[in-house]
Structure 1
């Protein structure tokens, strides 16, 4: 009887593990339909508002299960020299990983390019949802990557603390 019970527990654990893996890596993600005009935006130094920039080859994924699951890839002919004069740099960029099947996006390679100065990170849009910024990194060869990252205000509030005075008031339920 003990061997049967152990076998049932083992099979149940394997099925549950496989289901959790599938749900985390595949199930919740959906492709984002490109509009072709405003999929890639950067925040202007002058107006403080997000503005569309030139891009091509846009592909993205997102999931409703978390505000930080958005990932995108694109190319642009705009140089970092011009972009850095016009748009807000994002100093604390930390690329988040993407599922392995989303092949155009490699968080480690993006992070290394940022560290080595072969890429610059820009603020795409502040607070796409409360406490989460859209970050856009562009390499010197025109490859671009987008992800959502928890900002300073979100990190404090999501940790269960009161929002700092210079942060927007969090929505009810935070």
Structure 2
């Protein structure tokens, strides 16, 4: 009888821990980001150091304090990627990070495919928004926009244990 109770306790404990871990990863740490008109979508001008706001609407975003790369946002814009590319720095990012399934507007697979097919263009929004992390903005031909955080060269080196070179900013 003691063996059955011990087995049942272990199974129930493992199940509860698995459910809690899933909930925390998918729902628990994310918060809605309050819109700040004129400050939510910024792009880095070619040759500039200070990001500038662009025209946008229908902004919605999520973020989590648990990781600097959990930020995701969606918006609409009247601007076309070709005209934006003449003024702002283009990013090489082609694979946005997945968003939780409940954040419906951000489909990383579709965004990545649009970037690879040329139906969207990625731009640098802010470099080192946190140490080793850049904010990337993608704009599609149909006026949809997406924002996510991407590890830059310094971030990849810092987080994989490689020695960070002199070109990287000082860690806070």
- Which TM bucket (shorter chain)? over 0.9
Match of 1:109 in 2: 110
Root-mean-square deviation (Å): 1.0
Hey, what's the Cα distance between the residues in 2 that align with 1:166 and 1:36?
A: 33
Match of 1:121 in 2: 122
Runs of 4 or more, structure 1, over 3 Å off, are: none
- Cα drift, residue 161 of structure 1: 2.4
Q: List aligned pairs for 1:1-174, cutoff 5 A.
A: 1-171=2-172
Q: Normalising by the residue count of structure 1, what TM-score does the alignment of the two structures yield?
A: 0.95
Q: Which stretches in structure 1 are left out of the alignment for 5+ residues?
A: none
Q: Normalising by the residue count of structure 2, what TM-score does the alignment of the two structures yield?
A: 0.96
Hey, what's the Cα distance between the residues in 1 that align with 2:41 and 2:94?
A: 17
- Cα drift, residue 140 of structure 1: 0.5
Q: Which stretches in structure 2 are left out of the alignment for 5+ residues?
A: none
- Cα drift, residue 36 of structure 1: 1.4
Hey, what's the Cα distance between the residues in 1 that align with 2:7 and 2:151?
A: 43
Secondary structure of 1:147's counterpart equals: strand
Deviations 1:40-97 (A, max 9, x none): 0000004232100000000000000100000000000011111000000001342000
